[in-house]
């Protein structure tokens, strides 16, 4: 896997100040995408243990609330293995930090279907997530007033609650004090 960039002071992609990893590679190719350069799987730099160590060091300060995964597409099958390794290390070192992901895939129809690579890898990936913002960016539904979303079709999903209940449970802004920001 390659990555486009790592940001250490992101306040737009989840609650609080966050570290954000923008992975390379996306097959959705949504018209109007804000990060079209990251569609190419070969764009950017190789994601290796040095990149993981950099992210772990960026997550250390107590004011950093968590990690956000964006793209490109973090749920592309060829990206999942490297991301799972990152998430294992993040959860081991910083269990109190929240982990958010943004995906053009739909949680219930695409991700849970098991069609995005090896189900064991996807299942482990989901086990580390607190929140998933799902759905493709749809330019005709673009709304700049939405919190943590680019278009009105996208959902902010409480992943642990959804996995437990067997149905999509939406994360609400009032939950910023709790779920979505680990205590």
Strand order in the sheet with 155-158: 45-46, 2-10, 17-23, 64-70, 98-103, 131-134, 155-158
Give residue 182's pLDDT: 52
- Residue 7 confidence (pLDDT): 97
Would you state the pLDDT for residue 172?
82
Per-residue pLDDT tens over the stretch 54-91? 999 999 999 999 999 999 999 999 999 999 999 999 99
**pLDDT score at 64:** 98
Q: What is the pLDDT of residue 53?
A: 98
pLDDT score of 153: 97
pLDDT at 183: 44
Low-confidence stretches of the chain (pLDDT < 70) are 173-183
Write down the domain spans for the chain: 2-177
pTM across the whole model: 0.93
Contact 25, 78 (CB under 8 A): yes
pLDDT of residue 30: 86
- DSSP-derived 3-state class of residue 56: helix
Best CA proximity match to 88, nearest among 137, 80, 24, 36:
80
């Amino acid at each position: 896997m390659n990555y486009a960039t790592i940001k250490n002071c992101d306040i737009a992609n989840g609650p609080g100040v966050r570290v954000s990893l923008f992975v390379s590679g996306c097959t959705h190719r949504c018209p109007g995408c804000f990060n079209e350069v990251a569609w190419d799987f070969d764009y950017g730099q190789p994601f290796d243990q040095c990149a993981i160590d950099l992210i772990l060091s960026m997550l250390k300060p107590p004011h950093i609330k968590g990690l956000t995964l964006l793209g490109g597409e973090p749920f592309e099958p060829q990206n999942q293995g490297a991301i799972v390794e990152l998430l294992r290390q993040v959860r081991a070192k910083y269990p109190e930090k929240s982990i958010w992901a943004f995906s053009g895939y739909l949680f219930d129809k695409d991700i849970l279907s098991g069609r995005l690579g090896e189900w064991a890898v996807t299942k482990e990936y989901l086990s580390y997530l607190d929140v998933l913002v799902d759905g493709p960016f749809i330019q005709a539904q673009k709304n700049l007033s939405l919190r943590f979303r680019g278009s009105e079709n996208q959902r902010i999903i409480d992943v642990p609650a959804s996995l437990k209940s067997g149905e999509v449970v939406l994360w609400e802004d009032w939950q910023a004090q709790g779920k979505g920001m680990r205590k």
